[in-house]
Amino acid sequence: MSTQNHGETIAVTHKEFMEIADKMLNGYWDAVQKLTKKQKTSERCQALMQEHYYGPIAKYAIVLSQKPEHEREDIVRFVELWCLDWYDKDDQRRVFTGGNVGGIYCDSFGRPRMMLPERNEWDHLESYNNGYREVWVNRMARLVLTICEGDLSIVMCKTVEAYGAELTEAAEFYAKYA
């Protein structure tokens, strides 16, 4: 586990956090199975169980296991703020992902409510949007941002060619599945 202690908070990756939460949840349910019926209905017992099994989870903070590589610091901060995990699509494209962003859809101008860096640089791809999905592109920064049913993905392209390939793949995918 690659934890870093930041005072009272322990920084962990999304995968590590899920493993920790899974262990705590399993321990909680194992303990619940051993309780009597009277203990299960006791508010004090329930509070103690919650505090013992779920209280410690508050000390963990999910951080990206690798800092995004981009020439613009505002883009790096944005990805670090909204994303929990990443994977390499290929050697030229890295995908950052996050969840629970359902409340950030669009404002009255059709822009995401979350604070996009340099909002005037982002174009809304109307033909890819369907009420469950919103797709935004930033040609200058070579980014493709998709919000689909509350999940966020940001494809960060190293080159103009990789950015073009990403847009081509998106067009083919949405033509087939939209």
The predicted-structure confidence for 107-154, as pLDDT tens digits, reads as follows 545 455 555 666 678 888 877 777 778 888 999 899 998 888 778 889
CA angle 72, 120, 156 (to 5 degrees): 40
The span from the CA of 128 to the CA of 135, in Å, is 6
Question: Residue 121 in contact with residue 143, Cβ under 8 Å?
Answer: no
Phi, psi angle pair for 123, to nearest 5°: -110, 135
pTM of the model: 0.66
- The bridge status of strand 60-62 relative to strand 93-98 is unpaired
| Helix (H), strand (E) counts: the chain | 5, 9
* pLDDT on residue 3: 47
Supply the DSSP string of 122-149, one letter for each residue.
-EE-GGG--SSEEEEEETTTTEEEEEET
Two structure tokens written together for 67: 């800092």
C-alpha dihedral over 155, 158, 159, 164, to 10 degrees? -10
Report which listed range, 6-10, 68-72, 148-152, is most confident.
68-72
Domain boundaries, the chain: 4-62, 73-177
Q: Looking at 14-84, which runs of residues are DSSP E strands?
A: 60-62
pLDDT range class, residue 30, cuts 50, 70, 90: confident
Whether the pLDDT of residue 75 is over 60: the answer is yes
